[in-house]
Amino acid sequence: MTTAPVVLPQGGSCGPDTPSFARLSGRIQSGIPLAPLTTFRVGGKAEWYCEPHNHLELQQCLAWARAEGIPTTLLGAGSNLLISDAGLKGLVIGTRRLRGIQLLEGGRIWAAAGEPLVNLSRAAAKQGWSGLEWAIGIPGTLGGAVVMNAGAHAWAMADVLVEVEILDEEQEPCRLEPADLQFGYRRSRLQDSPWTVTGATLQLIPDRDPAQVQWQTRRHLNQRLSSQPYHLPSCGSVFRNPESHPAGWLIEQVGLKGYRIGGAQISERHANFILNCNQASAKDIYRLIRLAQEKVYQRWSVLLEPEVRILGSFED
């Protein structure tokens, strides 16, 4: 992968008014391909990209983007988003280096925003703390899981969250409780806010038999692997489930199971998954999303709402 050294956008400055720039020199790069950083394996380039190694560098990256007047996009495990072939404008901040887990008293566990959920689930199970068995198969990070209120097996992040740590719009650290976040099904207030999640504390059930918790964790993982297609690149579930029926069932009923556009296919195993079967473009996947919405609405008068975040321009 070829990267270019950082060059300030026109009109920018690296003098006294931007004290963080000297520290960021060489870390912010231009023209970085984003496809390898997503589970769909599609998408164009980031105009600017960086991967902060710690909390201070994250604040500096956000401050730099704000000083330059460019938008920011946070990228965790890249598992719940579709990035357009045109790429993304502004600064993309990869959080995968912002990791860390701390076991606290009374079954509480803290983790940094970039910590993979699978690591968190395994750490809790090893300790004999119950409450994260469901998270073992979700291919995302803690930060993204809090923002999306990720869940499975009738559990969700809202059920275990005690406190979330954020940087507000002024890049000042704050702590929020679940009541502040307006949690709903795959929703939270964080999705529509300028805040940046940096870490979170979860409350689990301590003093369980570690062997039993680990068995239940493996059981959830095996169930997910046997019922959902993970042999090809995907984003996980594409649509939120409506109240009437699961999204996958609705898509299957309109005859789209296995349907292909270009290199993308609606999975034959689970119709709420779209797979990158053969060097698909983001546009191929986007067209399948819109087709599924159209067909389901025509038959059932139900508008499927994407769970996947769709970023960038998909205009012809």
pLDDT tens, position by position, 92-106 = 999 999 999 999 999
Q: Count of domains in the chain?
A: 3
Residue 229, CA atoms < 13 Å, CB-side half-sphere: 23
User: Which token pair is 227?
Assistant: 């019922």
* Tokens, residue 283: 């546009």
Q: Provide the pLDDT for residue 24.
A: 65
The percentage of residues in the chain with a pLDDT greater than 90, rounded to a whole number, is 80
Query: Exposed (0-12), middle (13-18) or buried (19+): which is 209, by Cβ within 10 Å?
Result: exposed
Average pLDDT over residues 123-137: 95
Q: Is 90 exceeded by the pLDDT of residue 231?
A: no
Identify the pLDDT of residue 227: 78
pLDDT in tens, 268-277: 999 999 999 9
Flag whether 2 is in a domain: no
Domain of 49, CATH number, reads 3.30.43.10
CB of 127 closer than 8 Å to CB of 214: no
Q: What is the pLDDT of residue 26?
A: 59
Question: Whole-model pTM?
Answer: 0.87
Q: How far is CA 3 from CA 27, 45, 60, in A?
A: 10, 11, 21
Pair (90, 107) in one structural domain: no
Show the domain range for 171.
101-227
263 and 177 together in one domain = no
Share of the chain above pLDDT 70, in %: 91
Q: Which residues are catalytic?
A: 186, 237, 307
Residue 110 has pLDDT above 60, yes or no: yes
154 pLDDT tier (thresholds 50, 70, 90): confident
Looking up residue 271, the CATH number of its domain turns out to be 3.90.78.10
**161: helix, strand or coil:** strand
